[in-house]
Structure 1
Amino acid sequence: MTQVYDHGGGVRSLQVPIPDNPLGHTLVYVVDTDRGPVLIDTGWDDPASWDALAEGLTACGTSPEEIHGVVITHHHPDHHGLSGQVREASGAWIAMHEADGAIVRRARSTRPERWLTYMSAKLAAAGAPEDHLAPLRAARPRSVPGLAPALPDREIVPGELLALPGRRLRAIWTPGHTPGHVCLHLEEAHPGRLPGHGRLFSGDHLLPEITPHIGLYEDPDDATVTDPLGDYLDSLERVGRLAPAEVLPAHQHAFTDAASRVRELLTHHEDRLTGLLTLLTEPLTPWQLAERMEWNRPWAQIPYGSRNIAVSEAEAHLRRLVKLGRAEAVAGSEPVTYMAV
């Protein structure tokens, strides 16, 4: 049976499984409105996940056919994957921040070959060895997942209340994990009278025990040098100032004292940046830096796909150090290496 939890005040959560993933599941929230239930995120596009979502909605006294709308915190497939199927079942609208909506449109229009070529070039520029690049170069285009996510039909505008009749749900733009990630502030009294300002649906931005992945914003047609980690740290401080009574994240469990968790994450990233400077006493490519960084397991045990994510996170930290003037690229190096200043 799908686990369903009643958070009070017309808000429930469902555990929708993520196949073969250590996170286990996505918490999909069901918010009652005067026009019918609205989902915050939908879960991974998989038959077992769909069955769990439908089963959970039945336990809530509703069904996929009765969903009024879908609000997406960000475009990742464990959040947006089932949105299209929900819309097909119910006619529900789908809302997403424009920055992530652009990624969805790009994913649908970009040929798989283009993505494979782009990722191979990015990894080569980061210093990936040939044995890591070879499988990407030999991959069949149809093996690239997530290229047809559902197109949103409403835009989430930061700072504005969403059109949820009978509810006060305000969008807070929190880029970093993705460029268009949003948290959603339910500006209503906490049903358990906890101190603070309403409740915050935090997506992947603020989790109780996990540090969200901060990688690069991938766009094959845009050469802009972004600063995702800087965006994330700024967004964290903005969420901390909201002082919600309770945080309802997309993974793990609900928690209180958002400000304390924000401080922990800010400290974690500052400590990590400081630690990376000690590694950059010699020139290192992003790949070499990733090999030397501390992860939840030794580098040799990190799976192939996770290494791509790790290198992306290493490069996001490098970009932050360069922007702060604490590291710089070594002139003439190819692939490019970096050193502490």
Structure 2
Amino acid sequence: MNLPIAIALPTPFLIGPVNSWLLPGEEPALVDAGPRTDAAWEALIAGLAAQDLTPRDLRHIFITHAHVDHYGNARRLAEAAPDATLYAPDIAHARPMLLDLEEEWERQYTFTRRALLASGLPPHLAELSRSRMADMRSYGDAVPVTRWLQSGEYLTLGDGTVWQVVALPGHSMTQVGLHQTEHNLFIAADHLLPHVSSNALLEPPTPGEQRRPRALPRYVEMLRWTAGLPIQQVFPGHGEPFTDQRPLIMRRLQGIEERAALIHTALLERPRSVLALVEHLFPKLRPEEIFLAISEIVGHLDVLEARQQVAFRGETVREYFVLLQEEEGKTIMATIDESFRQDLVQHPKQSYRVIVRTASEAALVAEHCAHQGMTIHHQYRLLPGLALTATGEALLALAAHPAVTHIEPDQMMSV
């Protein structure tokens, strides 16, 4: 079979050039189209010409994920390639993003602004996310998709080679790659990059869901899955092709562990907001990197939270603190603010986090609940107090207990 051929396209972004992968043969295919800029378009035309092709010769165009550096020029390319089928993933929020729907961009902005405010960013800086997103949107265009794809489907591309579509959530929850199982080739999009780690970006909940995706924990899962694949060569979204993905994956996983440890150590010193952690770990950060840095910190906090090592308090600005596990094998759950007390009557099955001043007082609270015929599910030692988890029925009694210091809402579903 013919190996994919890289056509490097310039981008205006910090990541640098993006790869458009040409699969040559009787049914020429192109994977990703670059951003909507004249420079990227000219580079694409030149790259095709170097293989004695024009856009009109293409029969397949494949978009890996809903980031403008990968799909921005897809519409222009489709118009120049009238006989090509344009494929795109129909997972997460890919469809409304690729169709450039106004309500999806507004949903993205609303979520991003709320996430930035919760991180501790001042309102006037959080508002800048609208202009940032408008600038990002200018590098894309509505993609005239002719076939929406699900993970697991097979496509015959280029010289008749069969490729399997594989979901690669993490960097983007919309991301897919192509796996050629006979020759063990892997078009990885931004899942595996040889020269830089892939940011697992903050994203709003998938349409129809309430809780935002935990992108970095999901990315860790997918890295481990990818490490088990028999891959001979990887063709990344940025950078040069490489062989043997396992050493790179081990380095990426080690990097995630090291950064999580740094964050945990910083929180052992004192509770901190996401922004305070950003300033602690990235003291020389440039303004245009703030969203990437906040995504990076939140992702690692998600990893630590999934391990029950940290929790947060506060809603307007979240402050994270360390949890010291009291009992093995327990999990911490959600929270609710006292201002939502009436909602508890209507939603008695929801779980809430309750902050207690000291471990000794926690025993009194647990005894109080037992006397009331209610259950405290889990408990974790905090610095300096203790957190309990209980269902709504228990909370009504707990809220009045003198040892309870704090009950707050679970906005994790949306931020």
Interval containing the TM-score (normalised by the shorter chain): 0.7 to 0.9
Counterpart residue number, 2:378: none
Which of 164, 167, 178 is equivalent to 2:172?
Answer: 178
CA displacement 1:81-128 (0-9 Å, x = unmatched)? 111111111122221221252341574232766654443332112210
Question: Is 2:318 the partner of 1:336?
Answer: yes
Deviations along 1:40-74, one digit per CA (max 9) or x if unpaired, are: 11111101110110111011111111111111221
State whether residues 274 and 294 of structure 2, in contact with CA within 8 Å, keep that contact through their aligned partners in structure 1: yes
Alignment of 1:214-233 (within 5 A): 214-219=200-205, 223-233=210-220
Question: After the TM superposition, which residues 69-218 of structure 1 pair with which residues of structure 2 at under 5 Å, given as runs?
Answer: 69-91=60-82, 92-99=84-91, 100-104=93-97, 107-110=100-103, 115-133=108-126, 135-136=128-129, 139=131, 145-146=137-138, 148-164=141-157, 166-189=160-183, 198-218=184-204
SS in 2 for 1:110: helix
* CA separation of 1:267 and 1:202: change in aligned 2, threshold 3 A: same
Q: Return the alpha-carbon distance in structure 1 between the equivalents of residues 104 and 222 of structure 2.
A: 33
Do structure 1's residue 274 and structure 2's residue 265 form an aligned pair?
A: no
Give the C-alpha shift of residue 148 in structure 1: 3.7
Following TM superposition, by how much is the alpha carbon of 1:279 offset from its aligned partner in structure 2, in angstroms?
1.1
- What's the Cα RMSD here? 2.5
The count of residues paired between Structure 1 and Structure 2 equals 317
2:280 alignment partner, one of 292, 307, 314: 292
| 2:350 corresponds to | none
- Cα gap change, 1:336 to 1:106, in 2 (>3 Å): farther
Instruction: Give, as a single letter, the amino acid of the residue that structure 2 aligns with 1:43.
Output: G
Residue 106 to residue 160, structure 1, CA distance change in 2 (3 Å): closer
> Structure 1 pair 85/219, CA: closer, same or farther in 2 (3 Å)?
farther
- 3-state DSSP class of the match of 1:168? strand
* Structure 1 residue 179, shift from structure 2 partner: 0.6
Name the % identity.
25
Give secondary structure in 2 for the equivalent of 1:239.
helix
Aligned partners of 1:73 and 1:181 also within 8 Å? yes
Residues 320 and 309 of structure 1, relative CA distance in 2, 3 Å threshold = same
Contact 2:97/2:105 (CA < 8 Å) preserved in 1? no
CA contact 2:204–2:213 (8 Å) conserved in 1: no
In the alignment, the residues of structure 2 paired with residue 116 and residue 18 of structure 1 have an alpha-carbon distance, to the nearest angstrom, of: 23
Question: What does residue range 4-19 of structure 1 map to in structure 2 within 5 Å?
Answer: 9-19=2-12
CA drift of 1:320 comes to 2.0
Alignment gaps of 5+ in structure 2: 324-415
How do 1:239-318 and structure 2 match up within 5 A?
A: 239-281=226-268, 282-294=270-282, 298-299=283-284, 302-318=285-301
Give 1 or 2: higher strand fraction: 2
Distance 1:144 1:318, change over 3 A: same
Structure of greater Rg? 2
Matched, 1:237 2:221: no
